[in-house]
Structure 1
Amino acid sequence: MNNRILIIQTAFLGDALLTLPLIQYVKTINKKNIIDVVCIPSTKEIFKASSSVNSVFVLEKRGKHKSLKSFLSFAKELKKNSYTKIISPHRSFRTSLLVWFLNVKEAVGFDKSSMSFIYSKKITHNWSDHEVLRNLKLADFSGSDWRIKPDISIPENTKEKIKRLITENNLDKFIMIAPGSVWNTKAYPIELYRIVVEYFIGKDFKVVLTGGKNEFEICGLLGKDFNDKVINFSGKLSIIESIEFMKYSKILICNDSAPTHMGMAADISVLTVYCSTVPSFGFYPYNEKSRYLSYDELKCKPCGIHGKQSCPINTFECAYKLTPGTIIDTAVKMIS
């Protein structure tokens, strides 16, 4: 039987990447499953690059689908696809409302979802699980080998572009650092990252800085005065191009943010630095070659699930107690 399944994930980039293993698993259950995805504009590129996805429908919840009328019109168009099943890793009110409007007989979501009564099948959302495993359980996964890599199809012209950029910038030996985050308390301080940069430059590495367009300025501050030893690619590459670029790096050092999960898609060594959040939330790098660092001897940590725009007690000790030396020592061991 051919099932047409809708996956709803309208959260940020990191969440989108960690939804890919679920989609891939659903496809392996039955190769004939037709899987569509509802996502936001900024993550469309990710789902379109998955060979397991049939169609991608973009919900512009802050744009043209913001009003109830336009939202209902979006749902009406989706309903024409006659889905046999909905799986929703996203737990928001808007997502549950969309599930309700679509009125599909089998709808699977988490017990902690907004309006969870709408779902015909509710799965326990367990914070002790990794996000990949939590999502896989929505498809009745019960095995132990949950560490499925997000699979991204890279076009040949993209591969050639990245090879050309690496040659043009003489990147024979380099590391990558992604210093940005949507939440300020998840971002390791720039002055401490600079110490890490200084060390690797002293060891004849070049440093490539990566991030979105809104992180170009912070990457500029990190790379200031290092001349051509530090190259700022923030905002200059697409998500897919950035993932391909990562494959040539000796290591990616980043915060608890989307680049961690991009590194999993690239299947490289990732060192994730935790400040106000903790690995036990389930968003740590999970391939064998990766590691994470977190200073946990603080009563105030974690101060929130997503981080905050500023430290609630104005100390930011969760970052400053984690020394650049610790990051350098760990990174060197990982590279060697």
Structure 2
Amino acid sequence: MRILLVQTSFLGDTILSTPVIAAIKNLFPHAELWMMTTPLSADLVRRDPLLAGVIRMDKRDRDAGLSGLLRMSRRLKSMAFDRVYSLHRSYRTSLLLWLARIPLRIGCRDAKGSFFYHRLKARDLTQHDVMRNLSILSGECEIDQAFAQMRLFPPNATEVNAELKHALPPVGRYAVLVPGSAWRTKMWHWEGYREVARYLLDRKIGVVILGGASEKAVCDQVARNLDVVNLAGCGTISEALFVMQHACVVVCNDSMALHMASALKIPTAVIFCATSPAFGYGPWQNRATVIEKKELPCKPCRRHGSLRCPTGTEACMRGPDASAVIDAVRQLMGR
């Protein structure tokens, strides 16, 4: 049997989907399991020993538009999958899997184009997203904590750029700060991150700053004139995994970095600005402290944040005091 698992959303969503890999293999131990995801997310899952392979769907470039949709549907059809589990709920994904003529298509009840699926599974929005993803297998196996472990496999040292390795502080003697996010209203103010960095440096704890190319400006603000290793805009997702797995603590926003730290079981201080962990995207199975300003009448404003503050005050982004974050970091490090 050949099975396809689909998740083509954000990087964090891919990490939150990884428990489904082990759950499917437990259900069908002899099946050949493939995963379809974005080119960036492919770097997160390509080392998983339970996957036979990863299909990269570049929906913003090569696989965009009608021609890209048809080309990908032909590719999936040629691979002769017997069934597909789709965690992605877009109309485009539903149509793609129907065009691929996969004999058994299983999707979420709240998916757009749900009529393209043979079976629909309900998601309990009161649960953490890890458990919501596992519900795609409800009725086929028992959904419990046994399958709730997120799966990430960092590269070994030989796969990592030598200059990056030499730039890092000693293993276990540095903190990772991730000030950016895809959504601006999820980003705690950069001055706060600078205060946290100073606190750590004063105590001889190294500081490594991670972020994508689009987050380089805010990371540069945090790093300015501080003795930190600023890797923003450098390296790959795999190298970010390598860096984070050796950290003693992570400080980040409600972003992909939170889920990466949860999967790697790194103690984490996470700042929730416009969003809320009540939406099901909080820390999972690692030592973590959530810091947020709860008394704001406008918070949370959106499930996934937005590019600008709807009230213009940015109160949630500036709300948590740096001392609260520093105190969380101190306790997480046992100091």
Task: Give the structure-1-normalised TM-score.
Answer: 0.92
Query: Are 1:135 and 2:157 matched, yes or no?
Result: no
Letter in 1 for 2:70: L
State the distance in 2 between where 1:78 and 1:300 align.
Answer: 44
State the distance in 1 between where 2:327 and 2:261 align.
Answer: 20
Which digits, 9 at most, give the CA deviation of each residue in 1:314-336, with x for residues without a partner?
11222222111111111111110
2:313 paired residue number: 315
Q: Secondary structure at the match of 1:292?
A: strand
Bigger mean CA deviation after superposition, 155-164 or 318-327: 155-164
Deviation at 1:151, TM superposition (A): 3.2
Letter in 2 for 1:310: R
Contact 1:177 1:208 in 2 (8 A): yes
Letter in 2 for 1:187: M
2:62 paired residue number: 64
Bigger mean CA deviation after superposition, 209-218 or 171-180: 171-180
Which digits, 9 at most, give the CA deviation of each residue in 1:40-99, with x for residues without a partner?
121121221211211222222121222312311210121112211110111111111112
Query: Are 1:108 and 2:109 matched, yes or no?
Result: no
Equivalent residue for 2:117, pick from 119, 123, 127: 119
The alpha-carbon distance between structure 1 residues 165 and 267, as it changes in their structure 2 partners (threshold 3 A), is: farther
State the distance in 2 between where 1:41 and 1:261 align.
Answer: 18
Contact 2:20 2:133 in 1 (8 A): yes
The alpha-carbon distance between structure 1 residues 73 and 288, as it changes in their structure 2 partners (threshold 3 A), is: closer
2:180 paired residue number: 180
State the distance in 1 between where 2:104 and 2:273 align.
Answer: 40
Tell me the C-alpha RMSD between the 2 structures: 2.0
Contact 1:149 1:267 in 2 (8 A): no
Bigger mean CA deviation after superposition, 157-166 or 316-325: 157-166
Deviation at 1:262, TM superposition (A): 1.5
Query: Are 1:294 and 2:295 matched, yes or no?
Result: no
State the distance in 2 between where 1:87 and 1:25 align.
Answer: 12
Query: Are 1:45 and 2:43 matched, yes or no?
Result: yes
Query: Are 1:36 and 2:13 matched, yes or no?
Result: no
The alpha-carbon distance between structure 1 residues 331 and 162, as it changes in their structure 2 partners (threshold 3 A), is: farther
Which digits, 9 at most, give the CA deviation of each residue in 1:115-134, with x for residues without a partner?
11222221112221111111
Query: Are 1:148 and 2:146 matched, yes or no?
Result: no
The alpha-carbon distance between structure 1 residues 166 and 218, as it changes in their structure 2 partners (threshold 3 A), is: same
Structure 2 residue ranges without an equivalent (≥5): none
State the distance in 1 between where 2:14 and 2:154 align.
Answer: 15
Q: Size of the alignment, in residue pairs?
A: 331
Q: What does 1:1-336 align with in structure 2 at a 5 Å threshold? A: 3-140=1-138, 141-152=142-153, 154-158=155-159, 161=162, 164-165=165-166, 169=169, 173-226=173-226, 229-336=227-334
Deviation at 1:166, TM superposition (A): 5.6
The alpha-carbon distance between structure 1 residues 19 and 161, as it changes in their structure 2 partners (threshold 3 A), is: farther
Bigger mean CA deviation after superposition, 282-291 or 266-275: 282-291
State the distance in 2 between where 1:318 and 1:268 align.
Answer: 25
Which digits, 9 at most, give the CA deviation of each residue in 1:211-237, with x for residues without a partner?
1122222211101011xx211012222
The alpha-carbon distance between structure 1 residues 306 and 44, as it changes in their structure 2 partners (threshold 3 A), is: same
Q: Secondary structure at the match of 1:107?
A: strand
Which digits, 9 at most, give the CA deviation of each residue in 1:254-309, with x for residues without a partner?
01111111112322112211000100111112123223222222221111111111
Which digits, 9 at most, give the CA deviation of each residue in 1:178-215, with x for residues without a partner?
00001000010101211211222222222110111222
Contact 1:38 1:58 in 2 (8 A): yes
Q: Secondary structure at the match of 1:114?
A: coil
State the distance in 2 between where 1:218 and 1:296 align.
Answer: 25
Structure 1 residue ranges without an equivalent (≥5): none
State the distance in 2 between where 1:40 and 1:279 align.
Answer: 25
State the distance in 1 between where 2:327 and 2:36 align.
Answer: 42
Letter in 2 for 1:91: R
The alpha-carbon distance between structure 1 residues 17 and 330, as it changes in their structure 2 partners (threshold 3 A), is: same
Deviation at 1:163, TM superposition (A): 9.1
